[in-house]
Structure 1
Amino acid sequence: MTDSPKASAKTRLTSRGEATRARILDAAANLMYVKGVNATTLDDVRAISNTSKSQLYQHFPDKTALVRAVVSLRSEQILEREQRSLQRLRSFHGLERWRDALVQNNALQKGAYGCALGSMASELSDQDEVSRVTLATYFAAWEKLIADGLERMRDAGDLSTAADTRKLATGLMAALQGGYLLAEAAHDVTPMRTALDMALDHIKSFLTA
């Protein structure tokens, strides 16, 4: 049985609507990363995404709704990236490769914009409780990926049983976010690499060989 013309038109409209929403969301995410959440206006988003007010408000009734969608998008993107890097982590060399990838990626912009999640957290944590909780959840998931990798190293006997993998993961995450912030201020990734190296040196002290 074939779709009726009305059903087909509805499907095309839905697809077009999804494409418009994705275009708006992508534009907003890029603007908020470069300019900051508070400095980005809905007019900025409309101009970059080439959408009308009616199109924008059809998908996002206000800026708060758009910001929360951006928070979810960026969080999912970063966690997916980190899962690819960390879900099979089981060696110190793997941690070094992970560090190198993050520093090299940030160096492409000379560290100018920092971590997308960290930047949003600094702006939104005292403004929007929904966004704060979302960001905290994804930071915890990111940190758990690191802790799980360290636990695999400990289970394999490469890391001392005295190593508290949760605390080590928290320290490494703190070094990463602090490194992002220092690199952003300096427009130089050297402080980021130094902060991560210091955290990795501490983890290295628990290696068994």
Structure 2
Amino acid sequence: MTTADSHNGRRLTARGAKTRARIVAAAADLMYVKGVGTTTLDDVLAASGVSKSQLYHHFEGKDALVRAVVDHVGERVIERERRSLGHVSTIRGLRRWRDALVQNSALQHGAYGCALGSLATEVSDHDALARRALSQLFTAWQGLLAGVLRRMQDRGVLPPTVSTDQLATGLMAALQGGYLLAQTARDVTPMATSIDMALEHIENMSVG
């Protein structure tokens, strides 16, 4: 059995795909905790347990590995958000979504921030391909939020004149800003407050 390596066009065996996935997962964990800039390929080699020749068989260098990490983290985050938001159509459902994100961040006292946001901060100004991939991922995430708001609108909870896309942009900005404040404060309170204010704004627009 073979599978495609989307980055270099090679066909991978099941064993090769497993090795590549192990490299990417190890790099993603390291870059989330240490940051992209301070994570070296030697760090990834040590954490993944693969040889240097195996790493360079799959990735021509660190930039290619970072792009694979963006894809890996993005897939994980968007799948999580799809499960959380895919059927939400009430402000109560949005508050449950908020609670889950805040509680998860609280496990680390706000440290490390949003996995996608942290990557965007480090790579967007230096790698156009990674920046575009991250932009598409944030657009997909924001689209899931807009979908919730459209369902609320369809149910008559939000007035038809409201721009659900603009509300989703504001909610995403509150979320990402909250992640950053929690990261610097090592306290999730600012994150909870910023999302709560965005949700209160949406609730105040509700019909009736």
Alignment TM-score, normalising by the size of structure 1? 0.92
- Which deviates more from structure 2 when the two are superposed, residues 24-33 or residues 162-171? 162-171
Which stretches in structure 2 are left out of the alignment for 5+ residues?
A: 1-11
Q: Which residue of 1 aligns with 2:113?
A: 114
Q: Which residue of 2 aligns with 1:50?
A: 49
State how many pairs are aligned.
197
Q: Which residue of 2 aligns with 1:30?
A: 29
Structure 2 residue 109 is matched with structure 1 residue 105: no
- Which deviates more from structure 2 when the two are superposed, residues 163-172 or residues 127-136? 163-172
Q: Which residue of 2 aligns with 1:193?
A: 192
Q: Which residue of 1 aligns with 2:128?
A: 129
Determine the C-alpha separation between the residues in 1 that align with 2:13 and 2:160. Answer: 55
- Local SS of the residue matching 2:13: helix
Structure 2 residue 147 is matched with structure 1 residue 148: yes
The residue type paired with residue 85 of structure 1 is S
Determine the C-alpha separation between the residues in 1 that align with 2:107 and 2:59. Answer: 32
The residue type paired with residue 195 of structure 1 is S
Give a deviation string over 1:103-134, Cα, whole Å, max 9, x none. Answer: 01111111100001101111111100000000
Q: How does 1:151-170 map to 2 (within 5 A)?
A: 151-170=150-169
The residue type paired with residue 88 of structure 2 is L
Q: Which residue of 1 aligns with 2:20?
A: 21
Determine the C-alpha separation between the residues in 1 that align with 2:176 and 2:184. Answer: 13
How big is the shift at 1:14?
Answer: 2.1
Q: Which residue of 2 aligns with 1:81?
A: 80
Give a deviation string over 1:128-180, Cα, whole Å, max 9, x none. Answer: 00000000001011101111110110111111223221111000000000000
Give a deviation string over 1:47-84, Cα, whole Å, max 9, x none. Answer: 01111110111111110110000001101110011001
- Kindly report structure 1 stretches of 4+ aligned residues shifted beyond 4 Å: none
Determine the C-alpha separation between the residues in 2 that align with 1:171 and 1:101. Answer: 19
Which stretches in structure 1 are left out of the alignment for 5+ residues?
A: 1-12
Superposition RMSD in Å: 1.0
Q: Which residue of 2 aligns with 1:10?
A: none
Structure 2 residue 34 is matched with structure 1 residue 39: no
Determine the C-alpha separation between the residues in 2 that align with 1:193 and 1:79. Answer: 21
The residue type paired with residue 70 of structure 1 is V
The structure that has the greater radius of gyration is 1
Determine the C-alpha separation between the residues in 2 that align with 1:56 and 1:203. Answer: 48
The residue type paired with residue 81 of structure 2 is E
- Which deviates more from structure 2 when the two are superposed, residues 191-200 or residues 159-168? 159-168
Give a deviation string over 1:2-24, Cα, whole Å, max 9, x none. Answer: xxxxxxxxxxx922222211111
